Amino acid sequence: MPRSTLSTEANKTGSWRYLRPRYEEKTAPCSAACPAGEDIGKIEMLTTQGLFKEAWETILRENPFPGVCGRVCFHPCERSCNRGEFDDPIAIHSLERFLADTAERYDLKPLMERLPGRPEKVAIAGAGPSGLAAAWFLTQLGYACDVYEASPEAGGILRWGIPVYRLPLAALQREIAQIEAQGVRIHTGRPVTPDFLRDLEKSYSAVYLACGHGRTTSLRVPGEESDGVGDGLKFLEGVRGGGQPAVKGVSAVIGGGNTAVDVARTIVRLGGEALILYRRRRQDMPAFGDEVQMALDEGVKLQELVAPVRIEQDGGRTLVTLRHMRIAGEEGGRGRIEPDGDRTSRVVVDRLYKATGAEAAEGWHNPPAGKGALALSHCVLSLRDGRPAMAWGGDLANDIKSVVHAVASGKQAAIALDTLFREGLDAVLLKLESCTVGNGPSLSMEIHMGGERRLRNRHVVAYGEINTDYFRYAPRMTQPRLVREERVRTFTEIDLRVSGNIAMREAERCFNCGLCNQCDNCHLFCPDMSVIHDQSAQGRHINYDYCKGCGLCVVECPRNAMTLEEEIR
């Protein structure tokens, strides 16, 4: 055996390299699918490590409502989770809720980065999720904010529209208090009227209008104004205000969204019977599938493919004439419907609630279109000569009316206004583009504020780019819930807390797509001993004097946090 004790360091084998590996974090599909752009891969990594406060703060950088969204968000993140192609997606919403619960349990105070104070002040109309999110982000960016809310308490749809069995009051109040603790001033009982708006324009540099869609849309059916017909949103608001409306007998609910399902389930809890009448099929309902299933479990009845054409009062009862519909194709992933000939039927109920959607309470709440209005993905910006900037967000500007989209609006408006103040209108689009997570439209406040996240490649990691040899099949956690029998007679929250153990085990299932979790495979597999540990944030670097560019490190990286490129010489 030829042997040598001479050093071979003089032979810089790195010169043989024609491919070059480097550390480069990429974008997890969940974070790009989250309208709030939450850094989910990192959040789960921190959770796995037991760093619950840091994980919670990582959410707060992009969304001030982990406790709310952990409960009521429709979690599009989970649908895009790469783990879903392996076994089951990560229960991201349950982990978000867990982190918020942990913060509540230990009364954690977040340590938020805040830029130096700015002279501009922003007025916000509406203390719903969008207005509060805008205030939260603008405060981080150094602006003083005043939020004006018409109702006696802040929260908007979260306070008045979502039943407490889905979102307990304490969870909401905690996060609103946290926003106020950052210095946001919330003025309740102060509706923004056209006159008041003119006053605001005098003392603020910008106004963000986020007063939501609070008025139930009309059915455009004869008899809908009669006594036996109620407004679903108003009904929920009454119950959340402490009311106990009489619901004896059978109540029909028209609609297929979350409001319709919430109304029906609230009726059940108040001792009544509920029948949802929906013009499409169950699978076409915009309400969350889980909620629909629980509603049916709780005894709510659903009649599909019927639309009311006439409502009549008949001896204290309500007579609804229904036109039968049929599916005539697909549109936008849902069934397209048409009348099923002349078929009709009638149903007699004790009362009827409209829950077919909502619109702006006042026509002037709606954003302008056309010239002078800059329509962005989640908000509309308008600049008028000599007057403060105006922005519209939340339900007023979003196609999808969800809490997390409202948060996305608030964030986009905050970044747009910040850029407008600092760099002028021309810079706004470019700035928004630079804060995009993945292929957009989600935005990251951390990137806007110059955080580490800006260094990531926008490339969204695909399932095929994960080295699944490093992962074992493991079942997704089951969200513990109240039993059905208990649910139907109480407004107690249905989803129960989970332990740190369960949460950590679930978070450990996460691929952390595109993110380095210091697994050190690159070091272990490097045949040239060219991955050198150091004190940097990366924890290691590549010694290019000897790296031959074999690419083993990149292949053995379980999560695609490395990139192999052609060597340019």
Partner 1 sequence: MKQVLEGSQAVAEAVRLAGVQVVSAYPITPQTHIVEILSDYCATGKMNAKFLRVESEHSCMAALIGAQSAGVRTFTATSGQGLALMHELLHWASGARLPIVMAEVNRALAPGWNIWVDQTDTLAQRDTGWIQLYCEDSQEVIDTTLQAYKLAESVALPVMVVLDAFFLSHTYEPVDVPSQEEADRFLPPYEARFQLDTAAPCSFGPLVPPAVYMEMRHDMAAAMDTALTNFARIEDDYERLFGRRYGAVEAVACDDAEIVFVTSGTITSTTRLVLENLRGRGEKLGMVKIKLFRPFPVEEVRKALEGAKKIAVIDRNFSFGASGIFAQEVRAALYNAPDHAPVFGYIAGIGGRDVTPEVLEEIYWKTKHNALPERESVWIGLQEVSHGS
Q: How far is the CB of 466 from partner 1 (least distance, A)?
A: 21
Question: Which residues make beta-bridge pairs with 540?
Answer: 533
Helix (H) or strand (E) holding 22: strand 19-23
H runs (alpha helix) in 272-427: 289-297, 403-423
As given in the structure block, the two tokens for residue 388 are 């403060």
Burial of 177 (0-12, 13-18, 19+ CB in 10 A): exposed
Q: How far is the CB of 6 from partner 1 (least distance, A)?
A: 8
Q: How far is the CB of 525 from partner 1 (least distance, A)?
A: 15
Other CB atoms within 10 A of residue 550 CB = 18
Q: How far is the CB of 528 from partner 1 (least distance, A)?
A: 13
Which range touches partner 1 (CB under 8 A), out of 5-13, 27-35, 165-173, 238-246? 5-13
Question: How far apart are the C-alpha atoms of 164 and 387, rounded to whole Å?
Answer: 41
By C-beta, is 328 or 532 nearer to partner 1?
532
Q: What binding mask, one character per residue, do residues 97-136 give for partner 1 by CB under 8 A, x or -?
A: ----------------------------------------
By C-beta, is 6 or 369 nearer to partner 1?
6
Question: How far apart are the C-alpha atoms of 42 and 292, rounded to whole Å?
Answer: 32
Q: What binding mask, one character per residue, do residues 298-337 give for partner 1 by CB under 8 A, x or -?
A: ----------------------------------------
DSSP code for 425? G
| Tally of CA atoms within 13 A in the half-sphere of 4 that contains its CB | 4
By C-beta, is 177 or 532 nearer to partner 1?
532
By C-beta, is 170 or 529 nearer to partner 1?
529
Burial of 256 (0-12, 13-18, 19+ CB in 10 A): buried
| Beta strand residue intervals within 196-355, DSSP E | 206-209, 215-216, 229-231, 250-254, 273-277, 301-303, 306-314, 317-331, 334-349, 351-354
By C-beta, is 4 or 535 nearer to partner 1?
4
Q: Which residues of 494-506 are buried (b: 16+ CB within 10 A; e: fewer)?
A: bbeebeeebbbeb
| Tally of CA atoms within 13 A in the half-sphere of 426 that contains its CB | 0
Q: How far is the CB of 264 from partner 1 (least distance, A)?
A: 59
Q: How far is the CB of 292 from partner 1 (least distance, A)?
A: 49
By C-beta, is 6 or 568 nearer to partner 1?
6
Kindly give, in sequence order, each residue whose CB lies less than 8 Å from that of residue 423, ignoring residues fewer than 6 positions away.
Answer: 431
| Beta strand residue intervals within 376-459, DSSP E | 380-382, 389-392
Q: How far is the CB of 474 from partner 1 (least distance, A)?
A: 24
> Quick check: 1 binds partner 1 (CB under 8 A)?
yes
Place of tokens 């060219």: 530
Q: How far is the CB of 555 from partner 1 (least distance, A)?
A: 14
Residues 526-555 that bind partner 1 (CB under 8 A): none
> Quick check: 568 binds partner 1 (CB under 8 A)?
no
By C-beta, is 2 or 464 nearer to partner 1?
2
By C-beta, is 9 or 385 nearer to partner 1?
9
By C-beta, is 3 or 202 nearer to partner 1?
3
Kindly give, in sequence order, each residue whose CB lies less than 8 Å from that of residue 163, ignoring residues fewer than 6 positions away.
Answer: 236, 239, 240, 262, 265, 266, 269, 491
Residues 6-45 that bind partner 1 (CB under 8 A): 6, 8
Other CB atoms within 10 A of residue 364 CB = 11
By C-beta, is 174 or 523 nearer to partner 1?
523
Q: How far is the CB of 142 from partner 1 (least distance, A)?
A: 57
By C-beta, is 8 or 535 nearer to partner 1?
8
By C-beta, is 505 or 523 nearer to partner 1?
523
Which range touches partner 1 (CB under 8 A), out of 2-10, 56-64, 260-268, 408-416? 2-10
Question: How far apart are the C-alpha atoms of 122 and 183, rounded to whole Å?
Answer: 13
Total binding residues toward partner 1, as defined by CB under 8 A: 7
Which range touches partner 1 (CB under 8 A), out of 4-12, 302-310, 408-416, 472-480? 4-12
Which range touches partner 1 (CB under 8 A), out of 1-9, 101-109, 134-142, 426-434? 1-9
Which range touches partner 1 (CB under 8 A), out of 3-11, 55-63, 189-197, 430-438? 3-11
Burial of 346 (0-12, 13-18, 19+ CB in 10 A): exposed
Q: How far is the CB of 21 from partner 1 (least distance, A)?
A: 22
Place of tokens 């149903």: 347
Q: How far is the CB of 467 from partner 1 (least distance, A)?
A: 16
By C-beta, is 2 or 333 nearer to partner 1?
2
As given in the structure block, the two tokens for residue 124 are 């916000």
Tell me whether the omega of the peptide bond preceding residue 116 falls within 30 degrees of 0, making it cis. no
Helices 258-269/232-240 angle, 10° precision: 50
Q: How far is CA 224 from CA 134, 358, 457, in A?
A: 37, 15, 54
Q: How far is the CB of 549 from partner 1 (least distance, A)?
A: 20
Question: How far apart are the C-alpha atoms of 279 and 166, rounded to whole Å?
Answer: 25
Residues 216-255 that bind partner 1 (CB under 8 A): none
By C-beta, is 486 or 545 nearer to partner 1?
545
Q: How far is the CB of 130 from partner 1 (least distance, A)?
A: 55
> Quick check: 5 binds partner 1 (CB under 8 A)?
yes
Q: How far is the CB of 11 from partner 1 (least distance, A)?
A: 8
Identify whether the C-beta of residue 240 lies closer than 8 Å to the C-beta of residue 232: no
State the residues that interact with partner 1 by CB under 8 A: 1-6, 8
